[in-house]
Structures are given as structure tokens and as C-alpha cells.
Structure 1
Amino acid sequence: MKTIKNILLCAPFFGLFAVALPGCPNEPEEQPPVETAPLEVICGKAAECGELGEGKTVEQCAAELAPAFDALKQDDVCGPMIERLESFTACAMQHSTCEELDSDDEMTEAHPCFEERERVQQAVDEANKKKPGASSGCSLAAGFAMAAAASPPSDSDSECTTADECPTVQCPGATGTASGCLNGYCMTEEDMCE
């Protein structure tokens, strides 16, 4: 999941780096734009880069990611940022190879997604104006949703509608416990602790 995490969880979204976004390097402009839904582009690149769990299809990944992103988009603080982040991530995914996404090269003004990245930074700044530090929570939620959508189909047979219905899990090295309900099934320790 390094490629996706670089895009979803890295620098500008936490306010750590204002200029460079690791994981989205330069790419020649000769690639035609992809006419696919952004989440399918993101999941498609994850599959191409070997980051989808065994047995998970691009369609399943996008179908699982859509409700999480839709819920985040409904939030007054996170919504505009997640919309820009989704658009930027899809752009970066369609204009970069797996190797380029894993590198730490800086994005230059010549990159086809540079303006999108600038719009994400503006949305991050707006989210932080509304609620200081909000962009970190929004980015974490988006990253967690992507990790869950890319993980192998759950072995859990426990159906749920809320996380309260699921057993708690303590990840190695974590001080607390958590439980989760994703797409109607309780998340397993593997889902939670990956």
C-alpha cells in the first residue's frame, strides 16, 4: 500500500511539506487522459502496482471505497478537501508509473497534476481554517478507507451495521483497542492492524 499511502497520507495533507509531494514524480505528458471514474483509476493503479489484496478486484475496491469517500465528502470540514484529494490522486495515478509513485521525486510545474495538487493544498488550508488540524484527520480517514478497500476480502462472517457490534481488536504495539464494521462485516485483526 506504499503507493496509495504516499498519495493519500503524505506531506501536504499533514502540513509537513508545502512544496513537494513525495510519491508523485514527473511523468511525460504523452499519456492520454483516462475516462474512468476516479476511484476506479485509483484502485486500478493499486491493482497494477500489486497493492490490491489477493482475490480483490478493481471493481470491488472502488465499490468499497465509494461509500467511505461519499461519507467524508458530506462532512463540512473534510468534504471539499476529500473531493480535491480524490481528483488529485486519480490524476497522479493515471499519469505515473508504479516506480514513479514510490519515488521521492518532487512534483514540478510541468507535471499534468501540478494544478490539482495546488487545489488540494488550498482545500487543506481551508479545512484547517475551519478546524485547526482537521486535514490530518481527513487524510487519515481517506487513507484508512483506501487501505480497507484494497485489503483482501474479509474472512469475517460477522455481519454488522455499526462498529459497536464487532469484537475489539488490539494491534501489536498499540495501547488501545478498536473495532470496525466495513461494508456490513466486522473487520478482522488483519484488516485493522495492516
Structure 2
Amino acid sequence: KKIREKFNRYLDVVNRNKQVVEASYTAHLTSPLTAIQDCCTIPPSMMEFDGSFNTNVSRTISCDRLSTTVNSRAFNPGRDLNSVLADNLKSNPGIKWQYFSSEEGIFTVFPAHKFRCKGSYEHRSRPIYVSTVRPQSKHIVVILDHGASVTDTQLQIAKDAAQVILSAIDEHDKISVLTVADTVR
């Protein structure tokens, strides 16, 4: 019975979040909601150390990381979700980090905290996102051509593409990496 009650509390949280996101999206269709609170630029004065998260956080706001391909009019419910996410933390001590992730390239996290922000960020290639949109295991074969006709630039592009693929796999995926060349090495 206790497990059922706990599960029902978490299901209520998800349903409340869903209602807020859907209402925000409906409003967004007529008046775009695009306000962003960048996780990379949150002032330290807005946060304080929280032992539950073992880092400095703001329990009143969420923050966002954006893909480099995000459209400037992309839907972002973060500001509308802040009060419900804060309430989730207060009323459900078992809940910690809360996320919103969109196929448009917006990743929102609550409570807000400062990220290590080196280079671009693409949450849609992270295992948690990939496993949600493509739950079955993947069978991947990466073939790299490093023969004499391949330039250093082409080889680097191939390696970078392979790294993107490898960063999106999880423990259920099966992967093979093959390299081919014009001579045996």
C-alpha cells in the first residue's frame, strides 16, 4: 500500500507538470514564451548551498541550456513551471532534480544551478533523452575510412561524428567500430 501511495504522489506530480506545460504551450501559440535563464550565467547571489543537492542551487527558479540549433521562438515553459516545480520539492521530499527537455533543443532544470559551460551543449544526444524518444536498443556500426584518399579534415569530421554517436549510446545498445584503409596496418 505504501508503494502505491508513493507512486500515486509521483504520478500526481507528473500530471501537474503536464497540465502546466500544456497550458503554457497553448498560450505560446498566440504569444510566444521565449524567456531564458541561462544555467551558465546565473549570478552566485541567486543561489545558496543545499545539502540535498550537494551544490549551490536556487529553489525558486529553473535554468536552461540551449542547443546551438534552437529557434529564437522555441517553446520554453520554464518560467511557468517554476512555482509548480518548487511546490513539488516542498511536498515530495523524495523528488530532487526536475527536468524539461524538448525536441526543439531546450533543456530546463530545477532547481537552477550553475553548469560547467565549456563549448556547445546538446541534450538531445544524451542517453536519458535518446532512451526516451527511442526506447528500444540500437544496433550501431561505425565505419571509419582512413585510407590514403581521406584528408586529415575529413578524418577529423568522421571522428567527431563517431564521438557524437558514441555519446548517445546506453548500456542496452550494441556497437561495432570498424576502420578501413587502402593498406593493411
**Structure number, greater radius of gyration:** 2
Which has the larger share of helix?
1
- Higher relative contact order by CA 8 Å / sep ≥ 6: 1 or 2? 1
Q: TM-score, normalised by structure 2?
A: 0.28
Which has the larger share of strand?
2
